Structure 1
Amino acid sequence: MWTTRGRQSATSLALQASRRLARDSRAVGAPWRRSYASNGNQGTSLHWFRNSLCVAALGTAAYLGYEYTSSNRNDIESPVEHVKDLTNATEDFGSQFAQKKRSVKSPGVYVWGTNAYKVVDPRSKDAVVKTPRRLAYFDGQVLRDLKLGEKSGAAITENGDLVQWGKGYSETDYKPTPTLTGKNLTSLCMSNDRLIALASDGSVYSLPIAKEDQLAGHKPSEGSWMPFWSGSASVSYRKLQPSLKMGERVAAISGGIDHALLLTSSGRVFSVASSSENYPSFGQLGVPGLKWATRPKGPVDMCHEVSTLKGSKIIQIAAGDYHSLALDDKGNVYAFGDNSFGQLGMEFDPSFPFCDRPIMMPIRRLYRGAYLPKATRIAAGGANSFVAVDAQRVLGSNENPSNVRDLGRVTVDVWTCGRGIWGALGTGKWTHIQDSLTKVKSLSGLFEYDERLNGLAPIRMRDISVGTTHVSAVMDNKTQMDAATTNSLDETNAWGYDVLWWGGNEHFQLGTGRRSNSSKPIYINAPAEGKREADKQDARLQIMPRHKGKVGSRTVNMEQRVECGRHISAIYSGV
């Protein structure tokens, strides 16, 4: 307050003093006149003289104060001590920068959630792990893929070998152990009791999760680098054989509880039963009338082409527990399988709880007015579906182009449907059945300033992982403050992608350290290592973009990724 008053002019100070004196003189003047009623002229003269002296004194004091303030204004407005230059001292800002530093120098895997089957931390007796904890086995390693079930975990290492752990793998030897090796695997998905793994050459392998079944089952013959020499595989597995055309190969896989989807390089989709215990019975294979009693002759895990999609070139697939999604190159989304919670985006009908043929989701009906919507990404997990849509503002039939200011602008929205009783919809509502697409407002209509474009650019969803009851989304926000790009995180202006979490938290899988569910996307804190780091200020977790980091003595181009499984979450360094 004294700084503000020091900046006032002498005139204003004098005026305030005169007003204050006028108020005071009225309060004192009345009793003065009452005492000297017999001699009014003398009292009035003396009262005027004293008022004049007071005004003169206050005016002089105000002028001197103004001169002093003006002559020392620089001292008042400048800080007492200079601010420390923190440009090259980012490590002082807390755990967010410590995470960035660790990503450059030492990659790893952080896991949290239920530990009842030793998936989060095989060495710990904790039933749950409340916040991200480093899985020691993968220290200094980068992975190609990671999948987490409630009872077992599986990862593909940098050289393409499969590693498994957890009590679902072995009740006695549940620490991470290499199993299927030498196949140059690139990605995998996990069903109820089997793993489906895709190799770089397009081969698809199906093997049991349990170690006992891997050792006791049929082991196929394998060739050797030595001429005329062959032997049996070290573990039991089967190769899935879709009917491919010349030059066509499997390019992507996605799996649910009992089924898996295979996407080929030409845009065709095949479905297959992926569990040894149950045959898919909710239409998730996408073949009308197909069930256990009507299946064709041949292996149970025979691959079936989803023939209804033949007229479309599919570019992305996604599988929930008992339903399937497919996205074509024109931005259309097809859904089939279980619809008990509205996860197909169509009205729930108790008499027909599932659909065994692909149906198109009503993406174009989501927008009113002159918009051209196009789906760009799909995701599924549990009983939930997510669709990212680019909606471009176009010219309406009766509109004048000169009057439309946002013509051509693209707004990116995220839509969802399915089960929301745990908050997994992310809409802020606890909806049991959501059978029509509804917008996730926290992830929709976001923009940021782009220096290269010299204008606003939409913030898209870079990645999304949907678990059984919880979800995580990585946003594609700009990770640098300038227009130039970089492959290193050593620059102080390089940041991470924003990552948000929501849904069920009954096993602490959201990483907040508390058990309460969240029906809206939230941020969580970056994991701390050591007491010194834990004592620093909290910083929200961000996902490090692709960068160059040290893996032993090698420099590897890597990025961080998020994985949501069955009541478990993880962040890992991927190639």
Structure 2
Amino acid sequence: MSGNSTGKMLSRTLQRTVPRNTRSASSRADFLARRTAASRTATATATATATPSYQARGQRKQQQLFRSVYTIAVVGAAATLTQYYINNGSLIRPGHAEAAPKDEENVMVFEASRKKANASVEENRDMISSQHHQVKRSWEAPGVYAWGSNTGRVVAPDSTDSTVKTPRRMAFFDGLLLRDIKLDRNFGAAIDESGNLLQWGVGYAADTKAPVTTLKGKNLTSLTVSRDRILALSKNGKVYSIPVSASEQSTGDKPSEASWIPFYSTSSPIAYRTLAPKDLPSSEKITGIASGLEHALLLTSTGRLYSTASASDSFPSRGQLGIPGLTFSTRPPGPYDQPHEITTLRGFTISRIACGSHHSLALDRDGRVFTWGDNTSGQLGFDTSSESSIVDAPSLLPIGKLYSSTSQTPIVTNVFAGGSNSYLTIDATKVAAQTGGLLSDSDHRKANRGLGKITADTFAFGSGIQGNLANNRWTHVQSTPTRIPSLSGLYEYDEKTNSTVPIRLAHLSVGASHAAAVMDNITNLTASSSPDSTDDDTNWGADIVFWGGNQDFQLGTGRRNNVCSPTYLQPLDGVEEGKRARASSGAKEMHRFHITPRATVVLPDGRRRGVEQRVECGGGVTAVYSGT
């Protein structure tokens, strides 16, 4: 799936080569004529000394030979004329190749060069490769593209369109870099390059037409959203819970904040709450957050995991907190959203977390996966029933069963979740087959071929009725993780190491009903900057695919049908890309969107920054933004 071949493939001319013959038809006739003349001379000499009876028989044989020679000569001439007319009057000489006629259907010709004599090297690179053009544009014009439902004025705040069918730039973010962004149907939130929180959408304020800075000066690094609140993590490990609504921000309790003036404090301009686990040592801080509609997970620097209520209108009641028996009525004294340590996970160093709408996943450093919460669609990876649709304590997922009888050892490398779906990425390593001595030596060697080879797979489970499982099927409930065929078992050749390497997932963003996967394929971002770069070298990015529900055009395909297998999009600037392609080749070309991985570049304003494009799927909406 590497983009290295884009723009570098040239079709080859097919030529028909005539088989090498020892003689043509006319040559054979001349040869036989010479042989006949020699035969006549020998016959005349023999006849002069022969008796009359032998002379008569010799004359008859001579007449038969003349008739044979005449017949061969006529046939040879006819064959020559036939060959002449078949080949448009040109005799084909043995051992030479002739170009096929131009009107033959199977003829392929070299593609005309797209390079222009008066164009610069970079202009010619743009003509050669669509990916090179996309990478350059992502650096020259950073910003945000969004599409999907616009009923909440999120993907296009200044537009009255109810939907945005294909990627559209949000003018407010032109030239800006963001630390994070999260979009829902009715509100959007982002962290700018300075760590301030931006909000927009009718969920924030009905009359807003552009993002507004709300929480300032906290050096925020990442955020997640629940049904009606935003959870933001600062660089120093503090977690802020901010109401989505502007009216609640202005009327709610506003905490006191320290001032730069010693011994003086002031009230915060907006209402918010801080979520801090009790008795957390000063050497330990929150490093990761994830949220569902009503709950959130907080991951510490030592691998401990806490859960908390994340919405103000409802308390988690489907076991998603991971603490058996914890309900609104049984909660301990204190704030309703105080964090609680998930004590059943003590002893496991948690490294990754993910939340669906009402379920949770945690991955430890040894590759073990724990799931808990709502399981009505099988999103926990266990069989479900009406009597046992809720699991209120972390349960170990039996990953080994997925690779039974395969001579592979699986290790889960990451977990993702959203809506009623869960996803796993797995590295499966080939190990020695356990044959029990029943195989011959040759069969044993064959069974153990490729020891140590790693296969990168992606699995999905949960609801699949909208195509969320990406396995080409429409399934209501999928309780056993199922492999995504087009995102599993992929390899490519690495020219730097001269070896074949697996293609893993770099990131997977999951919304309420759709998802997007960024592949970790080999990329190139050094064209024109490397001293070894040639005029034909181009930049190329990573493959990105989308699938799932599409009722609000959130997949960006321009059509409303759901998609049950990963699919590509056209480039973000599809119209401009089409114009560029037609200008360079004179015909419409179909290109696909490639997302630009991280690189240090000089921005148009002269700043030198590390920049990458990221994708974010939300509730009926999608965004691609320039992240720092």
* Length-normalised TM-score, structure 2: 0.81
Which amino acid letter does the alignment assign opposite residue 440 of structure 1? Answer: I
In structure 2, the CA distance between the partners of 1:556 and 1:264, relative to structure 1 (3 Å rule), is same
C-alpha separation between the residues in 2 aligned to 1:348 and 1:338?
10
Picking from 519, 538, 551, the partner of 1:475 is 519
1:140 maps to 175
In structure 2, the CA distance between the partners of 1:164 and 1:15, relative to structure 1 (3 Å rule), is farther
Q: Is the 8 A contact 1:452 1:483 kept in 2?
A: no
Are 1:380 and 2:417 matched, yes or no? yes
What root-mean-square deviation, in Å, do the aligned CA atoms of Structure 1 and Structure 2 show?
3.4
Q: Is the 8 A contact 1:451 1:483 kept in 2?
A: no
Q: Is the 8 A contact 1:118 1:151 kept in 2?
A: yes
Picking from 388, 392, 395, the partner of 1:352 is 388
Q: Which deviates more, 323-332 or 237-246?
A: 237-246
C-alpha separation between the residues in 1 aligned to 2:421 and 2:112?
54
Which amino acid letter does the alignment assign opposite residue 623 of structure 2? Answer: A
Deviation at 1:94, TM superposition (A): 6.8
The structure with the largest alpha-carbon Rg is 2
1:295-343 deviation digits (Å, cap 9, x = unpaired):
1111011100011101100001000000000000000000010001000
Question: Following superposition of structure 1 onto structure 2, how do residues 295-314 of structure 1 map, counting pairs within 5 Å?
Answer: 295-314=331-350
1:537-574 deviation digits (Å, cap 9, x = unpaired):
22111110112331522121111111000010111111
Deviation at 1:493, TM superposition (A): 3.4
Are 1:248 and 2:300 matched, yes or no? no
In structure 2, the CA distance between the partners of 1:10 and 1:82, relative to structure 1 (3 Å rule), is farther
1:31 maps to none
C-alpha separation between the residues in 2 aligned to 1:537 and 1:16?
53
C-alpha separation between the residues in 1 aligned to 2:242 and 2:129?
44
Picking from 91, 101, 124, the partner of 1:65 is 91
State the secondary structure of the residue aligned to 1:226: coil
State the secondary structure of the residue aligned to 1:49: helix
Are 1:394 and 2:428 matched, yes or no? no
Are 1:429 and 2:473 matched, yes or no? yes
State the secondary structure of the residue aligned to 1:292: coil
Q: Is the 8 A contact 2:14 2:108 kept in 1?
A: no
Picking from 599, 605, 609, the partner of 1:556 is 609
C-alpha separation between the residues in 2 aligned to 1:453 and 1:256?
42
Which amino acid letter does the alignment assign opposite residue 102 of structure 1? Answer: R
Deviation at 1:101, TM superposition (A): 1.9
Picking from 465, 489, 497, the partner of 2:542 is 497
Deviation at 1:373, TM superposition (A): 0.8
Which amino acid letter does the alignment assign opposite residue 499 of structure 2? Answer: G
Question: Following superposition of structure 1 onto structure 2, how do residues 160-239 of structure 1 map, counting pairs within 5 Å?
Answer: 160-239=195-274
Deviation at 1:68, TM superposition (A): 9.5
C-alpha separation between the residues in 2 aligned to 1:465 and 1:488?
36
Deviation at 1:100, TM superposition (A): 1.7
In structure 2, the CA distance between the partners of 1:47 and 1:569, relative to structure 1 (3 Å rule), is same
In structure 2, the CA distance between the partners of 1:417 and 1:78, relative to structure 1 (3 Å rule), is closer
Which amino acid letter does the alignment assign opposite residue 392 of structure 1? Answer: T
Deviation at 1:485, TM superposition (A): 11
1:468-511 deviation digits (Å, cap 9, x = unpaired):
00010001000139999979999933211110110000001111
C-alpha separation between the residues in 1 aligned to 2:500 and 2:164?
41
C-alpha separation between the residues in 1 aligned to 2:114 and 2:572?
27
C-alpha separation between the residues in 1 aligned to 2:316 and 2:465?
25
1:537 maps to 589
Are 1:7 and 2:7 matched, yes or no? no
* Length-normalised TM-score, structure 1: 0.88
Which amino acid letter does the alignment assign opposite residue 371 of structure 1? Answer: Q
Q: Is the 8 A contact 1:343 1:384 kept in 2?
A: yes
Picking from 420, 423, 445, the partner of 2:464 is 420
1:454 maps to 498
Are 1:570 and 2:610 matched, yes or no? no
C-alpha separation between the residues in 1 aligned to 2:323 and 2:468?
29
1:247-281 deviation digits (Å, cap 9, x = unpaired):
00000000010011000000000001011100000
Which amino acid letter does the alignment assign opposite residue 368 of structure 1? Answer: S
C-alpha separation between the residues in 2 aligned to 1:355 and 1:488?
57
In structure 2, the CA distance between the partners of 1:263 and 1:68, relative to structure 1 (3 Å rule), is same
Question: Following superposition of structure 1 onto structure 2, how do residues 279-290 of structure 1 map, counting pairs within 5 Å?
Answer: 279-290=315-326
Which amino acid letter does the alignment assign opposite residue 377 of structure 1? Answer: N
Equivalent pairs counted in the alignment come to 551
Which amino acid letter does the alignment assign opposite residue 538 of structure 1? Answer: M
Are 1:465 and 2:505 matched, yes or no? no
In structure 2, the CA distance between the partners of 1:94 and 1:457, relative to structure 1 (3 Å rule), is closer
Gaps (5+ residues) in structure 2?
Answer: 1-12, 30-61, 583-587
1:547 maps to 599
Which amino acid letter does the alignment assign opposite residue 171 of structure 1? Answer: A
Deviation at 1:283, TM superposition (A): 0.5
Question: Following superposition of structure 1 onto structure 2, how do residues 15-164 of structure 1 map, counting pairs within 5 Å?
Answer: 49=70, 52-53=73-74, 55-56=76-77, 59=80, 65-67=91-93, 70=96, 83=113, 85=115, 89-93=124-128, 96-164=131-199
1:48-94 deviation digits (Å, cap 9, x = unpaired):
737614515755987983449849889x9997997455875122257
Which amino acid letter does the alignment assign opposite residue 391 of structure 1? Answer: A
Are 1:525 and 2:577 matched, yes or no? no
Deviation at 1:455, TM superposition (A): 2.0
In structure 2, the CA distance between the partners of 1:430 and 1:84, relative to structure 1 (3 Å rule), is closer
Q: Which deviates more, 344-353 or 218-227?
A: 218-227
C-alpha separation between the residues in 2 aligned to 1:346 and 1:443?
23
C-alpha separation between the residues in 2 aligned to 1:469 and 1:78?
45
In structure 2, the CA distance between the partners of 1:485 and 1:470, relative to structure 1 (3 Å rule), is farther
C-alpha separation between the residues in 2 aligned to 1:561 and 1:363?
29
Which amino acid letter does the alignment assign opposite residue 532 of structure 1? Answer: K
1:38 maps to none
C-alpha separation between the residues in 1 aligned to 2:463 and 2:27?
67
Which amino acid letter does the alignment assign opposite residue 471 of structure 2? Answer: T
Which amino acid letter does the alignment assign opposite residue 473 of structure 1? Answer: A
Deviation at 1:456, TM superposition (A): 1.3
Q: Which deviates more, 490-499 or 84-93?
A: 84-93
In structure 2, the CA distance between the partners of 1:14 and 1:104, relative to structure 1 (3 Å rule), is farther
Picking from 402, 415, 424, the partner of 1:366 is 402
2:560 maps to 515
Q: Is the 8 A contact 2:187 2:203 kept in 1?
A: yes
C-alpha separation between the residues in 2 aligned to 1:315 and 1:487?
40
Which amino acid letter does the alignment assign opposite residue 570 of structure 2? Answer: N
Deviation at 1:429, TM superposition (A): 1.0
Which amino acid letter does the alignment assign opposite residue 7 of structure 1? Answer: V
1:138-166 deviation digits (Å, cap 9, x = unpaired):
11011110101110000001110000111
Which amino acid letter does the alignment assign opposite residue 579 of structure 2? Answer: R
Are 1:409 and 2:453 matched, yes or no? yes
Gaps (5+ residues) in structure 1?
Answer: 19-40
In structure 2, the CA distance between the partners of 1:84 and 1:279, relative to structure 1 (3 Å rule), is closer
C-alpha separation between the residues in 2 aligned to 1:55 and 1:199?
93
C-alpha separation between the residues in 1 aligned to 2:14 and 2:515?
51
Q: Is the 8 A contact 2:253 2:272 kept in 1?
A: yes
C-alpha separation between the residues in 1 aligned to 2:219 and 2:565?
39
2:294 maps to 258
C-alpha separation between the residues in 2 aligned to 1:323 and 1:78?
56
Q: Is the 8 A contact 1:507 1:567 kept in 2?
A: yes
Q: Is the 8 A contact 1:17 1:58 kept in 2?
A: no
State the secondary structure of the residue aligned to 1:104: helix
Percent identity reads: 43
C-alpha separation between the residues in 1 aligned to 2:357 and 2:125?
43
Q: Is the 8 A contact 2:114 2:127 kept in 1?
A: no
In structure 2, the CA distance between the partners of 1:169 and 1:3, relative to structure 1 (3 Å rule), is closer
Which amino acid letter does the alignment assign opposite residue 515 of structure 2? Answer: V
State the secondary structure of the residue aligned to 1:65: coil
2:354 maps to 318
